[in-house]
Structure 1
C-alpha cells in the first residue's frame, strides 16, 4: 500500500515564494512607515523578487527577468510620484525609487547574462 496515494514525484509539494511575499510586504511597510531606508528597500526587493519568481514558477512569465523589469518600472514610477509630489515623504519616495532602480539593474543583467535559462521547476 502506498503512503501517499494520488501524489506523484513529478509535482512539488510546496512553493517557497508565498512565504517570501508575505515577509516582503510587512518588512517594506515597516521601513516605509518608520522612515528606515535600508529596511524599506530590502523589503521591496524581497517582495518584488518573490513575485517575479512566483510568476515564472507558475508559468505566467517565460523568465523572471522581464517580470522583474516590469515591477521595477512600477516602483520607479511610484517612487518618482512620491518624490515629486513633495508631501513630506521624501525619504520614502527615494527608498521606493532606489528599490526600483536596483531591480531594474538586476532584471537587465539577469536577462543579458542568464537569458532564457530552463523551464520553471
Structure 2
C-alpha cells in the first residue's frame, strides 16, 4: 500500500479563481439587493475579473483583457435592461441599473487599458 495515494511530483496546481467567482456573485447580489452601490460594483468587478482570469487559465482565451471587455459588454446590456425596465415596474431599479452600468464601464476601461498597456507575460512552456 502506498502511504500517499494520488500524489506525485507532477500534480496540478489548484486554481484560486473559483473562490473569487463564488464570492463575487453574492457580494454583487447583496449590494444590488440593498442598494449599496460600492458593494455592488466591487462584487461585479470581482466576478467579471475572476471569470476572465478563469477563462485565461483554462486556455479558452489567449489574454484576459479581451474576455474582460466581452464580460463588460454583457454587464452593460444587463444594466441597460434594468434601466429600461425601471419605468415599467413598481420597484425602483434605477440604482441597480446604474451600479451595473458603472461596473461595466470600469471593466471596459480596465480591459482596454490592459490590452493596450500590459506586457505579454505568457511564458513559453
Matched, 1:61 2:61: yes
**TM-score, normalised to structure 2's length?**
0.86
Number of residue pairs the alignment of both structures matches? 120
SS of the aligned residue for 2:121 comes to coil
Structure 1 residues 56-91: Cα deviation after superposition (integer angstroms, max 9, x where no partner): 000011000011000000011110111122232100
In structure 2, which of residues 112, 116, 119 is the aligned counterpart of residue 112 of structure 1?
Answer: 116
User: For the structure 1 residues 34 and 91, does the alpha-carbon distance in structure 2 shift closer, same or farther, using more than 3 Å as the test?
Assistant: same
Aligned twin of 1:11: 12
Partner of 1:93: 97
Deviation at 1:23, TM superposition (A): 0.3
Return the alpha-carbon distance in structure 2 between the equivalents of residues 43 and 114 of structure 1. 24
Q: What TM-score results when the alignment is normalised by the length of structure 1?
A: 0.89
TM-superposition CA deviations, 1:3-62 (whole Å, max 9, x none): 5765344732x1000000000011000000111100000000000000000000000110
Partner of 1:71: 71
Whole-angstrom distance in 2 between the partners of 1:56 and 1:74: 18
Q: List gaps (5 residues or longer) in structure 1.
A: none
Alignment RMSD, CA only?
A: 2.2
Gaps of 5+ in 2: none
